Structure 1
Amino acid sequence: MEKIPQQHTGNCIKIVLFGPESTGKTTLSQKLSEHYDGAWVPEFARKYLQQKWDEEQKICEPQDILPIAIGQMKLENEAANSGKKIVFCDTDLLETKVYSESYYEGWCDTQVAKAAKNNTYDLYLLTYIDTPWQADDLRDRPEQRQEMFEYFKQALIKNDRPYILVKGSLEERMQLITNHLNSILI
């Protein structure tokens, strides 16, 4: 059985966009990586699960959690070794763990849970649910946005992760984040 690659720390600052689906994580992580000339780590699960849907019309199943985590860490490690000073991750394994536990009655693959606990990041950007819901083949809980937001927030608190809450329009979010990052990057 393939194992999750160990996290490469690299010589960079790592920022994670974290929160429920359809809260602007991808847009923000891409814009921030452009703004800071940083590396961008896409969400591996999106491509993996879209392909599964397109080929089999199936959604995520418990046996998909480990391959998703492996793929995510490979992408993150590539970015950490890219030579960029800052890396923006569209997600991380703690987010994978949150989704796994919420969809599968508290269950999460033990490798994923361990890696989620041990991996470290400099800052989490917790995205609030004040963005419009955008339906697609994979998103499925528009009526549970507040519940999922609280689950994500509690995961950060429980795991003692540094975070800031990100709300408002895209421009307001970018201003809040860049003000915060500029103060810690100097």
Structure 2
Amino acid sequence: MTAPVRRVVVTGSECTGKTTLADRLGRQYGAPVVPEFARAYAARKGAAIGVDDHWPIVRGQVTAEAEALARPLAAARSLIVLDTDLLSTVAYAQHYTGQCDPDIEALARERIADHYLLLDIDVPWTADGIRDRGDRREALHALFIETLERFGAPYTLVRGSFDERLFLAQRATDAVLTR
């Protein structure tokens, strides 16, 4: 019998080290990593994300996850690591536009991952042309907590130095894999 594929999502505010941690966890566990679709989408767009961008981002993120799961490597593993997911899309939609399509929220609810690693904002913020709200980190972090709790998503707050973050993330991931 094949073990179910567990999904662990690295999530949180911009510039908290999500991509670095997701990539490190993927290497550590030999698991596929699904990149954050919204970041690439925003870079290609070259302008602010609006309400009309929410569904293309959702479709891109869902497709990227499905493609990762379809690869032979994923089929042989019991873990996939996601650098954000649809709950992140819900939080960012609320943050940037003050609204989120109820159908996006329903789809996000159907796709709740096995565990979320919520990265704290206790690391320096760095502007890069895409990250644009360093002055609103506290509000966005609070919105992520509210979103995770409203959706009943299991999560671990991950904070501290990179080594401390990695340790906490590995401990939470190991707990998911032993369930």
Q: Could you state the TM-score of these two structures normalised by the residue count of structure 2?
A: 0.91
Alignment match, 1:76: 65
Q: 1:114 Cα shift?
A: 1.5
Q: How far apart, CA to CA, are the structure 2 residues paired with 1:150 and 1:61?
A: 21
Identical aligned residues as a percent: 37
Alignment match, 2:35: 42
Alignment match, 1:88: 81
Alignment match, 2:165: 173
Q: How far apart, CA to CA, are the structure 1 residues paired with 2:110 and 2:177?
A: 24
Counterpart of 2:96, as a letter, is Y
Of 77-86 and 122-131, the range deviating more from structure 2: 77-86
* Equivalent residues of 1:13, 1:87 under 8 A apart: yes
Unaligned runs of 5+ in 2: none
State the secondary structure of the residue aligned to 2:7. Answer: strand
* Equivalent residues of 2:159, 2:165 under 8 A apart: yes
Deviating above 4 A after TM superposition, structure 1's stretches of 4 or more consecutive aligned residues are none
* Equivalent residues of 1:11, 1:80 under 8 A apart: no
Of 68-77 and 170-179, the range deviating more from structure 2: 170-179
Q: Could you state the TM-score of these two structures normalised by the residue count of structure 1?
A: 0.87
Unaligned runs of 5+ in 1: 1-9
Query: Residues 1-186 of structure 1: matches in 2 within 5 Å?
Result: 11-53=4-46, 58-81=47-70, 82-83=74-75, 84-105=77-98, 107-186=99-178
* Equivalent residues of 1:42, 1:89 under 8 A apart: yes
CA deviation string 1:100-152 (max 9, x = no partner): 112112x1123312111211211000100011111111111111111111110
State the secondary structure of the residue aligned to 1:144. Answer: helix
Q: How far apart, CA to CA, are the structure 1 residues paired with 2:174 and 2:100?
A: 36
Counterpart of 2:17, as a letter, is G
Q: How far apart, CA to CA, are the structure 1 residues paired with 2:127 and 2:58?
A: 24
Q: How far apart, CA to CA, are the structure 2 residues paired with 1:184 and 1:63?
A: 35
CA RMSD in angstroms, aligned pairs only: 1.5
* Equivalent residues of 1:11, 1:85 under 8 A apart: yes
Q: How far apart, CA to CA, are the structure 2 residues paired with 1:59 and 1:33?
A: 30
Q: 1:184 Cα shift?
A: 4.1
* Equivalent residues of 1:18, 1:126 under 8 A apart: yes
Q: How far apart, CA to CA, are the structure 2 residues paired with 1:154 and 1:61?
A: 22
Alignment match, 1:4: none
* Equivalent residues of 2:6, 2:176 under 8 A apart: no
* Equivalent residues of 1:100, 1:108 under 8 A apart: yes
